[in-house]
Amino acid sequence: MTVSEEKFTRQTLSEVRVWSPSLFSLRCSRDPGFRFRAGQFARLGVQKADGSLVWRAYSMVSAPHDEFLEFFSIVVPGGEFTSELSRLQAGDSLLVDKQAFGFLTLDRFADGRDLWLLASGTGLAPFLSLLQDFEAWQRFERIVLVYSARTASELAYQALIQGIGELEYLAEYADKLTYLPTVTRERAPGCLHGRITTLLDNGELEQAAGLTLSPEHSRLMLCGNPQMIDDTRALLKRRDLHLSLTRRPGQVAVENYW
């Protein structure tokens, strides 16, 4: 794909972190003119050996106030983009579109008391950005982060999640957050066991959070694989929790992550 150089900047990788054989993160410099809202994504480009460019969308893990950009990726075996991306090292170049995109942002909701963030796999990324920003903490009384992975070893960013309440600028809000890691293929200490949809359907998720889902108070963001999102939306619809649209405000916002 050819993209005019007027539409992107060339940034330098400062860190590549491998979480598991299939998961890694990239951190790069940030152009001073690049602006985004927590929850949005950027289009990243890598140059292949033949000189052609390949582009894919990745949500920012980093907060809007950070001086760097960070992204969370899965390795797709034989994937045209991630195969190139996973070979990059600190000092290499990464192309970043000058414009941020996406609507998984808090302005999707006009009101609400409880914010539920439901993520599977690398769909965690936009929620980490939201949790490092002020807006969610100021607007909601309770925030529940549900992060689903196949195994406990694939639960990335645990230190960041556990340390959010220790950030000086968020310290006064720390007691608002409930973190519920879930694992689907094994039982692990401190984790719920089962898919998000199963835990929603049997009531275990609400019990663990100490909150009840309701159209009046609950606002939910879903990010991850499309099957999880479709199945979760169907369950929520039965509870009268509907997708929030411009023409019809609702309680649910989604981002399909691959």
Q: What is the pLDDT of residues 169-205, one digit of tens each?
A: 999 999 999 999 999 999 999 999 999 999 999 999 9
Q: Quick check: 256 pLDDT over 90?
A: no
pLDDT at residue 6, as a whole number: 79
Contacting residues for 164 by C-beta, under 8 A, at least 6 apart: 131, 132, 170, 174, 177
Judged against a pLDDT cut of 70, whether residue 258 lies above it is answered with: no
Question: Backbone phi, then psi, for 42, in 5-degree steps?
Answer: -120, 155
pLDDT score recorded for residue 257: 57
d(CA 100, CA 59) in angstroms, rounded, equals 9
Distance CA 167, CA 179 (A): 16
The full set of domains in the chain, from first to last, is: 7-97 (2.40.30.10), 106-256 (3.40.50.80)
Closest CA relative to residue 232, chosen from 257, 190, 201, 186:
201
Q: Please, which pLDDT band fits residue 24 given cuts at 50, 70 and 90?
A: very high
Can you name the residues that pair with 9 across neighbouring β-strands?
A: 96
pLDDT at 128 over 70: yes
Q: How far apart are CA 121 and CA 123, in angstroms?
A: 5
pLDDT value at residue 181: 98
Total residue count of the chain as it appears in this document: 258
Residue 1 predicted with pLDDT over 70? no
Find all residues with CB under 8 Å of 24, minimum gap 6, and list them: 16, 17, 18, 73, 75, 86
> With 70 as the cut, is the pLDDT of residue 255 above it?
yes
Q: Which pLDDT band, with edges at 50, 70 and 90, does 48 fall under?
A: confident
Question: Could you report how far apart the first and last alpha carbons of the chain are, in Å?
Answer: 19
Mean local confidence (pLDDT), 81-90: 88
**Contact (Cβ atoms closer than 8 angstroms) between residue 55 and residue 4:** no
pLDDT of residue 85: 87
- Which pLDDT value is given to residue 51? 86
H helices of the chain, in order, are 80-85, 125-131, 134-139, 158-163, 196-201, 204-209, 226-238
Greater confidence (135 vs 76) lies with 135
Q: What is the mean pLDDT of residues 25-50?
A: 95
